Amino acid sequence: MRVNPDLDFIKYMKGAGGDTLKNCYQCATCSVVCPLSTDEKPFPRKEMIWAQWGLKDKLVSDVDVLLCHQCGDCTAYCPRGAKPGDVLGAIRAYMYTHYGFPSGLAKMVSNPKMLPMTIGLPAVIVLVMWFISGGMHLPSSEDLAVQGYSQFFGHWDWHWLTKNVAFIDAIMLPAVGLALYSVFRGVTTMWKDLEKENDVSAKFRPSVKQFVVDFIVPSVKEIIDHKRFRECTVNADRVRGHKPLVLAFIGLLIVTIYSAISQDVVGLFVEGMHGPMSLLNPVKILANVSAIALIVGIGILWGNRAATEEQNGVKGSYYDWFLIYEIMAVGVTGLAAELCRLMGIPSLAYFMYYLHLVSILMLFLYMPYTKFAHLVYRTMAYTFERYRQSSFVK
């Protein structure tokens, strides 16, 4: 076997949290203690040797890298301090950059030196659109109480679409579209690589309905239930932070869909659907509870990661902390904007709402290149795991 190491790949992993991989001497302790590893497909031992050899192509098409939940068991018991969980985390970070589109944007988001540009790009986009809209003026406290942020980008008399919604759509929808295309392109390419690497050949292909019902839906259910997270021992507390975070995003998605339908569809025919919801509105309650759950969940993960780094005497990677800061920014600016509105402070309210829009745009735009991509790539890994064990595969 001829080994052609990718030195740039090894260098990347060292910077992304995998700088300890050279300490591994293949004792297999990590595979023995991992609650998710099996006798047929042990990991992360094989990933550690592949990483040492710089076998990038094998690692980016290795489903076990995505099935790892970085629970910390392998790192805790490693006699050499090789930190296999961190190495696999670094490999996942590389995978999202490797499969990301456009590659320039993916590389920008993964590079800590480009953080000013990573924040500045969405900030400038929202600011320029706000300026173009002609809405850069502060309302009175009375108008803020009645209108909320429904005229942040100004007002026009066109009945079929409010100016505020038009500008928010013009900002967010292209970002969402790019993210969805990038993810679709990434997972389809990854799926082909997984089939090739695992020598998976279908006897016959399932229909779209069969694929969704038999493989994707059970995978999503298992992820929401956090079954595999609960099998971890050392970092079992991550479930306390991770699960409310997932549920919070589901709740906020429901609120977003309801708001879009009620204001942009029903609101065209029923007066009074625009403007702030009552605090007693069930949807508003769901929104506030979800926002609090978002902050609490990411706060627990923040605390757990900080404690783990202090305990192990290691410095956290940029990849690990970027999404934590980003999600916290979304939750904090959202609640701050609502509190400032309720307190009747237009200048501070509009500033916090601007920051909230910027943080949401960052979340959407950079989703395929950050840990947020776990939601998609890990789901597809679960799906592939089920698919390759099914009767559809030879």
Domain spans in the chain, listed from the N-terminal domain onward:
7-98, 103-388
Question: Looking at residues 269-298, what average pLDDT do you find?
Answer: 82
What's the pLDDT at 305? 76
Percent of the chain exceeding pLDDT 90 equals 29
| 3-state SS class at 202 | strand
Question: Looking at residues 138-150, what average pLDDT do you find?
Answer: 90
| 3-state SS class at 352 | helix
What's the pLDDT at 274? 63
CA 46 – CA 262 distance, rounded (Å): 52
State how far the alpha carbon of 376 is from the alpha carbons of 82, 85, 355, in Å: 28, 20, 26
Q: Would you place residue 236 in the very low, low, confident or very high pLDDT band (cuts 50, 70, 90)?
A: low
* Averaged confidence pLDDT in the chain: 85
What's the pLDDT at 224? 76
Question: Looking at residues 357-375, what average pLDDT do you find?
Answer: 91
Residue 382 tokens read as 């679960």
Q: Would you place residue 312 in the very low, low, confident or very high pLDDT band (cuts 50, 70, 90)?
A: low
Torsion on CA atoms 300, 302, 308, 309, rounded to nearest 10: -170
**Lowest-confidence region among 137-146, 255-264, 362-371:** 255-264
pLDDT in tens, 88-143: 888 888 898 889 999 999 999 988 899 999 999 999 999 999 999 998 889 999 99
Tell me if 211 sits within 8 A of 188, measured CB to CB: no
What's the pLDDT at 247? 87
pLDDT in tens, 28-47: 898 988 888 877 777 888 88
pLDDT in tens, 68-87: 877 777 888 889 888 888 88
Residue carrying the six token digits 């403007």 = 275
Closest-CA residue to 67 (of 372, 319, 382, 387): 382
